[in-house]
Structures are given as C-alpha cells and as structure tokens.
Structure 1
Amino acid sequence: MAKRSSASKQSFPRRALGWLGRAILIFVAVSVLWVLLYRFVPPPVTVTMIANAGGGRGITKDWMSLSDMDRNMPLAAIAAEDGNFCKHNGFDFGAIQKALVSNIEGERKIRGGSTISQQTAKNAFLFQGGGYARKALEAWFTVLIELIWGKQRIMEVYLNIAETGIGTYGANAGAMRYFHHDASRLSRSEAARIAAVLPLPKKRGAIAPTGFTRRYGDRIARRIGQVERYGLANCLR
C-alpha cells in the first residue's frame, strides 16, 4: 500500500503537467481558429458591446468595409491613435517606453502605449480591465492578428468595433449618429472628430465639441495631411 501511495503521489505532478499541456494546446488551437474566422467574417458582437448594452442602451453598429469607407477615417485613426501603425509589428516599444516614463514621473494624465493592433485585439477578443492577465492575452491575440490578418484587416475591424459613442460602435454608425450620413463620405474635420471621441466615447461627443475634444479634433485634422504626406498610411493602399 505504501508503495502504491508513493507512486500515486509521484504521478500526480505528471498528470497535472499533462492537463496543463492539453489546456494550452486547446487554447492555442481555439484562438488561432477564432482569429482565422474573423479574418473573413465580421465579428458579430464583442464582450464590450454586451457589457455596455445594459440600461436600455442597446448596440448600434453598421459594418462598412475599409474600401468603402472614406480614406479620411483611417488617416484620422492613425493620426490620433498610432502614428507608427504601418511600421510596427503590433507593438510600438518606443511609445510604450514613453508612456512608462511619463506615468512613473507622475504626470496628471495617465498615458497608454497601446497600438491600434493591441486595441483591436482587446476589443475583438477580450474585455476591458483585467490587469496583467488580460494584457498577456492581448499580446497573444495581437501577434495572431498581425500574422493572420495584416494591416488592412486590422484597421477595418478596428474602425467597425471601436466604441464611438454610448451604445454606438464603429465609424459608420458614429458618422450616422453625429453627421447623419454614412462613413463613405467624411470630411477631414468629421473624421477627426470621430477619432477624437475614441479614447473616451462615453464622455465626448463629435457634434459641436467643446474644450479639449474640440482642440484635439482640430489637431487630428491637421495631422491627417501629414499622415498622407509622409506615407504613414501606405500599408492601407
């Protein structure tokens, strides 16, 4: 009996490792298949949409392909959120370092170093918050979408699932909400206003924006020309 008990104790770590290995393989397989599916199929709904749908807000979205969307919109997103979008492989380590330094130095406004790719991975597959565990999953899905989707699809998904107002998701739904026309024709000013709302969609509005939102939108509108001029969006052609 003693020998059998000893053997059982010695085999438990092996079984645990086996279970862990199988769990990791299943996770990898499922996540790869999930990302591959969204390479061709628009994400029907996200965790963020479901979490925010309470209180009668509902979910307002209207998918529009990147090829049909006015080019001012992706240019505005790059100008506002990720100037190195076409250069990095999902992670802008320079921006991450700057964010860490500014946060350590105690700037009043906490800065983030997330790229459009990281934000897309989070919005499409994960949830808001969650600390380091969620960030680790976000990094994994960022690598996958960069490898499987490519830049055009990443931008397309981002501009269709990012929250652009309370209960409103995507640039097209945002354009119809704020400007009463779809995103196939957006002026620089309109696209910049939608981009200015993205960081805080529940607190900012693109119609007659005031204060910081107005100033930020004006800066984005000016940057759109620079993004085009310096080829910062060439990966979307």
Structure 2
Amino acid sequence: MAKMSGARKFLRLLGWTFGGALVLIVLVMLLFRFVNPPTSAFMLGYQLEYPHKSLAYDWVSMSEISPWMPLAVVASEDQRFPYHAGVDFEAIRQALSEYRAGEGLRGASTITQQTAKNLFLWNGRSFVRKAIEAVLALGLDGLWPKKRVLEVYLNIAEFGPGIYGVEAASQAFFGKPARHLSEYQAARLAAVLPNPKVLSAASPSSYVLEREAWIRGQMAQLGLGHLRDL
C-alpha cells in the first residue's frame, strides 16, 4: 500500500513538473511574440563552446530587412510556409515515401521548426529532439503570426561561425545594412543556411553558387507577392 502511495506521489509530481514546464514554455512563446529574443539556445551554445570568440547579433525589424531576404529563405527552405501549420505533414509524407523507394532521407523541416530549434533547442538528429521541435513549431504557429515567425527566424539564424541574424550577416559579408540587400545577395545568404559552419557567403564554393542560382530561379517563380498576405 505504501509503495502504491509512493508511486502515486511520484506520478503526481511528474505531472505537475511537466505541466509547469509546459506553462512556462507557452508563456515564453507569448512573450517572444511581442518582445525580441535577446539571445537563442544556439547562440548560448556557441558562447559556451567558444568563450573567447566574439558573437555578432544585431536585431532588426522586418521593415528594416530587404523584401528579397524573406523571399529567398522561403524559396530555399520552405515554399509552403504561408500555408502549413508549422509542420508540413505533406512534405514529411513525401520524404518518407522517397526514403522507402530507396532514395536518401532528406529533411522536411519548416522555417517554423527551424525557428523553434534555434530559439529553444540543441543541434542534433535524434528523433526525440525532432519530436520536441515539431511540437514547439505547432505551438509557435498557433501563438505567432506567420510574419513574426519569419522575422524571428531571419534574426536568429546562423549565417556563419558566430554570425547570427541577417543584419550581422549583411554587414559582415557585404558591408551594408540588411535593408539594402539585393536579390542576388539575399539568395547568397540563403544558400549557406543548410550548413553555415561549412558553406561560406564570403568565399562561395561552386555548390553555393549553384544553390544561389537555383534559389534565384525559385524566387522568380514565387514572386514577392507570395509573402504579401502574411
């Protein structure tokens, strides 16, 4: 009987802990809908790993970012961004279907998932982390307007070692503020996002240049009107 009572107490404590953590996460999400994040999990991770290196991070509002930049990341990373609910289940089904057909397993992360990961989580490929990322992405999509998701993503994404956000990237690689980025420069920055620690916007490899050209083609097909109603 005592053992049963102890088990109930443990389960109750576990439930309260989980519920408290969930409430805290929702409150933080609501806060960051209106307040710009001062840092992110990925930035903190970089500072812990490289305590003696500087980190570039300069927040700018969407109105201070060239309209080519959000179009470039949507064209590159998540063309269904305006339409899905934070997780693109159709893209996941297609990726799994291709994997079963013998093709490599490709990522199907949305911009919302990447925002959740960069802001709250750690880097890695475990199913546990991906599951948490998906749940957080659904929460972000429910609590934030699409435009806010895109604004936060552009400001916390890593564009190079220690370079976070489009303003810091634009200054570092092109010597200009993000509001003056051209279509080509926006595509170049978007081209390095899959692996900014290896791919360089300053010294682009042939792969980066090919990817940049592909992104420009996708941008032309989508057009700036693709994001007008966000």
What does residue range 207-218 of structure 1 map to in structure 2 within 5 Å? 207-218=202-213
Distance 1:18 1:87 in 2: 39
User: Residue 18 of structure 2 aligns to which amino acid in structure 1?
Assistant: I
Distance 2:53 2:198 in 1: 15
Structure 1 residue runs without a partner (length 5+): 1-6
What does residue range 110-189 of structure 1 map to in structure 2 within 5 Å? 110-129=105-124, 131-189=126-184
Distance 1:139 1:93 in 2: 10
1:73 aligns with 2:66: no
User: Residue 21 of structure 2 aligns to which amino acid in structure 1?
Assistant: F
1:43 aligns with 2:44: no
User: Residue 3 of structure 1 aligns with which residue?
Assistant: none
* TM-score for the superposition, normalised by structure 1: 0.90
Contact 1:151 1:235 in 2 (8 A): no
User: Residue 209 of structure 1 aligns to which amino acid in structure 2?
Assistant: P
Cα drift, residue 147 of structure 1: 1.2
Correspondence for 1:30 among 18, 24, 28: 24
Question: If you compute each CA radius of gyration, which structure gives the higher value, 1 or 2?
Answer: 1
Question: Is 156-165 or 13-22 further displaced after alignment?
Answer: 13-22
User: Residue 4 of structure 2 aligns with which residue?
Assistant: 10
User: Residue 149 of structure 2 aligns to which amino acid in structure 1?
Assistant: I
Contact 1:152 1:235 in 2 (8 A): no
User: Residue 42 of structure 2 aligns to which amino acid in structure 1?
Assistant: T
The number of equivalent residue pairs is: 228
Aligned-pair Cα RMSD in Å:
1.7
Distance 2:44 2:12 in 1: 35
Structure 2 residue runs without a partner (length 5+): none
SS at the partner of 1:74?
A: helix
1:102 aligns with 2:110: no
What does residue range 213-224 of structure 1 map to in structure 2 within 5 Å? 213-224=208-219
Deviations 1:146-179 (A, max 9, x none): 1111101000000000000111011111111110
Taking only the aligned residue pairs, the percentage that are identical comes to 41
Distance 2:167 2:112 in 1: 19
User: Residue 84 of structure 1 aligns to which amino acid in structure 2?
Assistant: R
Contact 2:199 2:205 in 1 (8 A): no
1:206 aligns with 2:198: no
* TM-score for the superposition, normalised by structure 2: 0.92
1:91 aligns with 2:87: yes
Deviations 1:114-161 (A, max 9, x none): 000000011111111161222222122112211111101000000000
